[in-house]
Amino acid sequence: MRVVGIFLLAAASVLADAPPTPLYLGGYSVIPTPQKVVLQGGEMRFDANWRYEAGALAKHMAVRWLATDLREFHSMVLRPASGAGAKTVRLAIAKDTVEVKGDPELREQAYRLRITPQGVEITGNADAGLFYGVQTFLQLLKRAPDGGLRLPVATIEDWPRLALRFLHWDTKHHQDRMQTIKRYLDWSARFKANMIGFELEDKFAYPSNPAIGAPGAFTPAELQEIVNYGLERFIQVVPIVQAPAHMAYVLKHPQYARLKADGNNYQSCLCLEDTYKLIFQMYDDLLAATKGVKYFHVSTDEIYYAGIGGNCLEPYNPVNRSLKWAEFAQRARDHVVSRGRRMLAWLEYPLLPGHLERLPADIIDGVMGEQEYIPIENKKGMRQLAYVSMQGAEYLFPDHFNYQGAFSEGWATEFEQGMAAGRLRQAYETIGKGRVWKANPIGVFGAAWDDSGLHSETFWLGWSAVARWGWNPGTPGVEQHAAEFMNFYYGSRTTGMVEIYGMMQRQARSWQRTWDRVVSRTRSPGYGTSDGKGIGTQRFDMTLAAPAKPQPGDLAFQPRFAPNYAKFLAEARARSAENEQLLHLLAANLLRAERNHYNLEVFTALAEFIGHHWDLIAGLADAERALERASAAAKKGDPRRAVGEMVRAHNAVEGLEREGAERFAQLTAVFEKSRYPKGREVAGRKFVHVFDDTKDHWADRTADLGYLHAPERSIGLDAWRKDLSGIIQTYAKKYNVPVRGLGEARLEE
């Protein structure tokens, strides 16, 4: 997504947060914040003596959800009313109970919730409204000091400001298990999200072109099962198809190689009719497997090379490129509309504003990539999504929060400085008062790109924020949202969760920063970038230089690791102490959390993995110091001491290698509880791994999860140890010194 400048906010432009909401000040929490709340004062007890009354709606999803969440979250069984006298939760649907102007979808999602000492009434304008009213009721239940549940005496009238609230599931580098996806849909529903942008790429088995689907990809029946599960929860699972750009998942297969634009592995050629035939076959496969969904996302993302190559008759230039771009969007729109869907697309560079006029007005612009599009779209009556991103280039954990003061000695990369506001703040600003409001937005899109392979459990704070501010833009502020999310997602007994997220972010950014960047020797340069063919194509890898080794014979030694990595060592010392504190906090909250324990398990595995990195940096410096002592002992004529120090260095590094492998294996095992192994083989069919020609996605560097461990493996510590072992043996034999304990790996203190 080439969206330049939308998210980099100068400090002076940041809006002040909305004040805390009355419900929040009263100790109650609801995500999203309702539009109208009237607190009558006081609160009431809610217990197992209450009953519910639903009439003909007894089997409605809202009623079933009420019973299920009361049982699972509060161990309470709510029974139907059987006579007069009992306090009752009454559920009903009555058209226009809440008056809402605007899109019909807004009215259908509205509800009224009345809470009095005599009873509770939840009334929706339509099915979705009743369902959302139940979500608000359930979130309002507060655990009192005596262990009972309390509700505020209040009247709430609520409806969304934006009709479509998209959460983005990008699965280009992983495939979630079915039970994981259903859990994600449940939690999306609790936050009142009603759209999932499901970026499947090769994780769907395309019947028309079976070679495209990865081994074990979701079958049409499985995808329809996911769609139906979502529709029951008033969520549409909308397919996102990357085409004609980002098509390495297709073009890597030999039978489609002829469709490459100018021979690159990134984009298919839009001057070949067979390209359209293939893409539209893929569309039809997904349309058939997503019955009941009203939308289809044609990902016109980063089509940098429309009209390039020997198959094209017109010269490749900005005008003809834009015309080819517009032609594809027009034809794609006609195809999906003819099949009963409304098209969403990324309208962005390199589409020229003048050619936007050619596109039909019913296309929803998912990103509004250029400022110049706004007056044209307003004139045409087009609708837009407020696009925000919860992740882009970060490794291991997203940048949810403000960066100010997060770095040792002001040490931050240019990217980190640009991201200083934090993604939550950027989302708050963009959805609340971004340029999309100069147009006519219909929804919000909360992207969570899989480019760096982050686990989806790290996205829920951001996803919930997007759903929240899509419902009620600008309310509440970032700090209140974070606090309420922690309370709801983990339960009220957890402590210090905001601090845990901040530590996870600092740990991940420090991990990402404390590696050398070197020109890759294993990955060939790419095809180009948005700036043009052949520009910005060099690939870089993360690594560290191994410690120096003593010279054979006299053990002459010149240290290099500690002097060269003094800044990394200082960072490691600071972050190691923080990492230990983080792990203690996570361990404590694993006991306190009432729900979503797996989320904390993922965080713990990530923290352990990062913590090993601090051990690695410090341990390699310690090993080098041991070799320095060995050299000094040799000069003093003490070969026994020299051998002992070299053995100490060898074994310490061996212990670090073993710890690294164990932490990586632990992380892999935890990740794969919720997702299938990356790049797996199924029924003898192997995954075909190939690079995207223009994008340097970290998660795409290996077919499996090995990209996480690759920086450490690239140091070459195994070869380093073998060399050192040879030096030890030769030196010890020369001076007739016994070698004891070599290879007894341990981490030295």
DSSP 637: T
Q: Is residue 2 part of a domain?
A: no
CA 39 to chain centre: 37
CATH number (domain holding residue 459): 3.20.20.80
What local confidence, expressed as pLDDT, does residue 85 receive? 75
Among the three residues 158, 175, 205, which one is the final residue of a domain in this structure? 158
Q: What's phi and psi for 9, nearest 5 deg?
A: -100, 125
Q: Are residues 119 and 216 in the same domain?
A: no
Q: Are residues 106 and 177 in the same domain?
A: no
The answer for residues whose C-beta is within 8 angstroms of residue 281's C-beta and 6 or more apart is: 206, 208, 209
Other Cβ atoms less than 10 A from the Cβ of 749: the count is: 5
How many residues in total does the chain contain? 749
Q: Is residue 390 part of a domain?
A: yes
User: Within the chain, how many helices (H) and strands (E) appear?
Assistant: 22, 20
Would you say 344 and 366 are in contact if contact means Cβ atoms under 8 Å apart?
yes
Tokens in use for 523?
């990955």
Cross-strand partners of 295: 342
Q: Is residue 748 part of a domain?
A: no
Q: Is residue 711 part of a domain?
A: yes
Q: Are residues 300 and 430 in the same domain?
A: yes
- Per DSSP, the three-state class of 41 is strand
Q: Are residues 302 and 188 in the same domain?
A: yes
Among candidates 622, 530, 533, 536, which has minimal Cα distance to 576?
622
d(CA 459, CA 100): 32
Tokens in use for 381?
């009556």
Would you say 187 and 229 are in contact if contact means Cβ atoms under 8 Å apart?
no
- Amino acid 611 reads G
Q: Are residues 574 and 637 in the same domain?
A: yes
What local confidence, expressed as pLDDT, does residue 420 receive? 64
What local confidence, expressed as pLDDT, does residue 409 receive? 41
Would you say 650 and 658 are in contact if contact means Cβ atoms under 8 Å apart?
no
Q: Are residues 279 and 338 in the same domain?
A: yes
Cross-strand partners of 533: 528
Would you say 106 and 159 are in contact if contact means Cβ atoms under 8 Å apart?
yes
β-bridge pairing 364-365 and 383-389? parallel
What local confidence, expressed as pLDDT, does residue 524 receive? 85
Among candidates 333, 223, 246, which has minimal Cα distance to 527?
246
pLDDT < 50 stretches in the chain: 2-14, 405-411, 413-418, 748-749
The answer for residues whose C-beta is within 8 angstroms of residue 509's C-beta and 6 or more apart is: 394, 399, 406, 416
Q: Are residues 480 and 527 in the same domain?
A: no
Q: Are residues 684 and 647 in the same domain?
A: yes
DSSP 14: P
Q: What's phi and psi for 645, nearest 5 deg?
A: -70, -40
Question: Nearest 5 degrees, angle CA 363-CA 366-CA 367?
Answer: 130
Question: Residue written as tokens 């893929």?
Answer: 282
Q: Where are the beta strands (DSSP E) in 117-262?
A: 119-124, 142-143, 149-158, 164-170, 195-199, 236-242
3-state secondary structure 337-377: HCCCCEEEECCCCCCCHHHHCCCCCCCEECCCCCCCHHHHH
Q: Is residue 26 part of a domain?
A: no
DSSP 493-504: T--SHHHHHHHH
Tokens in use for 33?
């914040």
Among the three residues 158, 175, 198, which one is the final residue of a domain in this structure? 158
CA 424 to chain centre: 13
Domain extent for 264:
164-500
Q: Are residues 338 and 481 in the same domain?
A: yes
DSSP 305: T
- Per DSSP, the three-state class of 709 is coil
Q: Are residues 427 and 536 in the same domain?
A: no
Would you say 126 and 107 are in contact if contact means Cβ atoms under 8 Å apart?
yes
d(CA 57, CA 60): 5
d(CA 579, CA 600): 15
Would you say 100 and 107 are in contact if contact means Cβ atoms under 8 Å apart?
yes
Would you say 558 and 635 are in contact if contact means Cβ atoms under 8 Å apart?
no
Would you say 461 and 400 are in contact if contact means Cβ atoms under 8 Å apart?
yes
Would you say 486 and 498 are in contact if contact means Cβ atoms under 8 Å apart?
yes
Q: Are residues 154 and 192 in the same domain?
A: no
DSSP 15: P
- Per DSSP, the three-state class of 565 is coil
DSSP 428-450: HHHHHHSGGGGS-EEEEEEE---
Q: Is residue 12 part of a domain?
A: no
d(CA 265, CA 245): 9
Among candidates 246, 308, 241, which has minimal Cα distance to 281?
241
Among the three residues 449, 475, 500, which one is the final residue of a domain in this structure? 500
What local confidence, expressed as pLDDT, does residue 18 receive? 86
What local confidence, expressed as pLDDT, does residue 403 receive? 61
What local confidence, expressed as pLDDT, does residue 209 receive? 98
CATH number (domain holding residue 44): 3.30.379.10
Q: Are residues 692 and 728 in the same domain?
A: yes
pLDDT tens digits, residue range 151-197? 999 999 999 999 999 999 999 999 999 999 999 999 999 999 999 99
Q: Is residue 119 part of a domain?
A: yes
Would you say 242 and 286 are in contact if contact means Cβ atoms under 8 Å apart?
no
Count of domains for the chain? 3
Q: Is residue 30 part of a domain?
A: no
Cross-strand partners of 529: 532
Would you say 463 and 167 are in contact if contact means Cβ atoms under 8 Å apart?
yes
Would you say 239 and 211 are in contact if contact means Cβ atoms under 8 Å apart?
no
Question: Nearest 5 degrees, angle CA 169-CA 110-CA 479?
Answer: 55
